[in-house]
Amino acid sequence: MMRTSSDLTHIVTFCGKCSCGCPELFLDRNASAEKRVVITDDFGQRIQMSLEQLRTLVADVKTGVLDDVLATTAI
């Protein structure tokens, strides 16, 4: 579901199975190119990155770059 609030357009909520403030991805079309992507966490923090940085992150995830981190990290 896409919703727009102020300058942010909501793209996706990562989890969404609770009301604990799950991480979310937004696009800020009014931000400078290097800060257009906004990711918020459930603690009220946020990071901003460019669309190119997001493309690289998604490509790395798809090719398994983070698989070892998840496999060796105790939960």
Tens digits of residue pLDDT in 49-67: 999 999 999 999 999 998 8
Q: What is the mean pLDDT of the chain?
A: 87
Look at residues 5, 22, 26, 6 and name the one whose alpha carbon lies nearest to residue 14.
22
pLDDT of 42: 85
Higher local confidence (pLDDT), 15 or 52: 52
pLDDT of 2: 44
pTM of the model: 0.78
- Say yes or no to pLDDT of 48 above 50: yes
- Say yes or no to pLDDT of 1 above 50: no
Q: Residue 40: which region, alpha, beta or left (left: phi > 0; alpha: psi -120 to 50)?
A: beta
